[in-house]
Amino acid sequence: MSGSLGSLAMLVALPSFIALLTLFFWTVTSNIFGNDNNNDGNGEQQRDWWEDMNREEKRNGLKLIINLLGLCIACGTLMVPISMARSGLQEKFNVGVLAASLFMFGNMCK
Amino acid sequence: MIFVHINLPKNYLQFTTLLLVVFVSFWYQIDLDSIGEEEMEDNNQYNGYNPWWYRQMNERELLEYHQKVVSYVCLAFAIAFFATSTCAYSWARAQPGSLVRSSAGNGPYEQRNRAHLSAQFEMLSEIWTFISLCTLVIFIGLSIASLVLLGSEDADRMREKARLINMIIINVWMVVVSLFMMFWGNEVFSVKRRGNLGMGMLYGGCKYFSSLLLLVCFLFANFSFDQREREESTWVGCKCIFCRLDCISEYYDPLLTRSPFLQLQQHMLVCFFR
B171 touches B188 (CB < 8 A): no
Q: Is A40 at the interface with chain B, CB within 8 A?
A: no
* Torsion on CA atoms A95, A97, A103, A107, rounded to nearest 10: -160
Q: How far apart are CA B89 and CA A32, in angstroms?
A: 41
Contact B207 A53 (CB under 8 A): no
In degrees, to the nearest 5, what angle opens at C-alpha A55 toward C-alphas A54 and A56?
110
Which ipTM score applies to this complex? Answer: 0.71
What pLDDT does residue B136 have? 80
What pLDDT does residue B100 have? 42
Interface test with A, best of B60, B61, B70 (most A CBs within 10 A): B70
Q: Is A16 at the interface with chain B, CB within 8 A?
A: yes
Interface test with A, best of B4, B34, B77 (most A CBs within 10 A): B77
Q: Is B195 at the interface with chain A, CB within 8 A?
A: yes
Q: How far apart are CA A7 and CA A86, in angstroms?
A: 7
Q: Is B208 at the interface with chain A, CB within 8 A?
A: yes
pLDDT tens-digit series, residues A3-40: 677 777 888 888 888 888 888 888 888 767 665 544 45
What pLDDT does residue A11 have? 80
pLDDT tens-digit series, residues B61-107: 777 777 777 777 777 777 777 776 777 777 776 666 554 444 445 55
Q: Is A105 at the interface with chain B, CB within 8 A?
A: yes
Q: Is B176 at the interface with chain A, CB within 8 A?
A: no
Nearest to A100 among B57, B204, B229 (CB): B204
Q: Is A66 at the interface with chain B, CB within 8 A?
A: yes
Contact list in B for residue A36 (CB cut-off 8 A) is none
Interface test with B, best of A92, A94, A98, A105 (most B CBs within 10 A): A92
Query: Residues 87-126, chain B: which have Cβ within 8 Å of A?
Result: 87-89, 91-92, 95, 97-98
Residue in chain B closest to A16 (alpha carbons) equals B77
- Where residue B35 falls among pLDDT bands split at 50, 70, 90? very low
Q: Is A72 at the interface with chain B, CB within 8 A?
A: no
**To the nearest whole percent, how much of chain B has pLDDT over 70?**
36
Residue whose C-alpha is closest to residue A105's, from A20, A25, A4, A28: A20
- Where residue B271 falls among pLDDT bands split at 50, 70, 90? very low
Give helix then strand counts, H and E, for chain A: 5, 0
Q: How far apart are CA B88 and CA A5, in angstroms?
A: 7
Contact list in B for residue A54 (CB cut-off 8 A) is 224-226, 229
Query: Does pLDDT of B17 surpass 80?
Result: no
Q: How far apart are CA A75 and CA A17, in angstroms?
A: 6
Alpha helices in chain B (DSSP H): 12-28, 37-44, 51-56, 59-94, 114-148, 155-160, 163-186, 195-220, 227-232, 236-249, 252-255, 258-272
Nearest to A8 among B4, B62, B218 (CB): B4
- What is the nearest CA distance from A36 to chain B, expressed in angstroms? 10
Q: List own/partner pairs for B238-245 with CB under 8 A and 24 or more apart.
A: B238/B142, B238/B145, B238/B146, B238/B167, B241/B138, B241/B141, B241/B142, B242/B142, B242/B216, B242/B217, B243/B217, B244/B138, B245/B135, B245/B138, B245/B213, B245/B216, B245/B217
- What's the whole-number mean pLDDT along residues B171-175? 80
What b/e readout covers B86-101, taking b as 16+ CB neighbours within 10 angstroms?
A: bbbbbbbbeeeebeee
B140 touches B183 (CB < 8 A): no
In degrees, to the nearest 5, what angle opens at C-alpha B20 toward C-alphas B191 and B212?
70
Contact A92 B77 (CB under 8 A): no
Q: How far apart are CA A54 and CA A59, in angstroms?
A: 7
